[in-house]
Amino acid sequence: MALLMNDTDMKQMLESIRPEGETYQGEAWGTLMSGTAEMLALGALSNVSCYVGVTEKSLVIAVLETFDISHIYGKICIPFNQFDEVKIKKGLVPSQRIIKMKSGKTKLKLSLVNNTITAKVKDQKLGMQKICEALEKVAK
């Protein structure tokens, strides 16, 4: 059982749900914020940790179990061309980004932070940058 989010688990979990024929352009850990329809569908009532990846064509999220972050609780994969709306803004912490997304009836709110206290993800800052860049293109 993993105690901290880490590169090995992130790569393994994201790879297991990567759309066929696509490659990851950026990967990071994040927090799915509670209250979104997708969260409720997964049965989660509070914020949950996740691994996030962007490929050339899709946003992929591996939602982790609350008490055992070494297991995937849910999987989300949304092609970029299915997004109706994407908004990225700075959070309360200087290194935080809050991403609000809408695809049909699905609404997601994702927090990405460049924080090494709760995770041992080596290239978190670069991964965050790649994810935000890919989603900013979708937003335009």
For position 135, which CATH number holds?
2.30.29.30
Residue corresponding to tokens 């393994």:
12
The total domain count for the chain is 1
Q: What is the pLDDT along the chain (140 residues), one digit of tens a residue?
A: 556 888 899 999 999 999 999 999 999 999 988 655 555 455 555 788 899 999 999 999 999 987 788 889 889 999 999 999 999 999 888 889 999 999 988 889 999 998 766 677 888 999 999 999 999 998 77
- 111: containing domain: 5-139
Beta-bridged to residue 97, according to DSSP, are 90, 112
Per-residue pLDDT at 4: 80
Beta-bridged to residue 75, according to DSSP, are 62
d(CA 105, CA 4): 33
Query: How many helices, marked H, and strands, marked E, lie in the chain?
Result: 3, 9
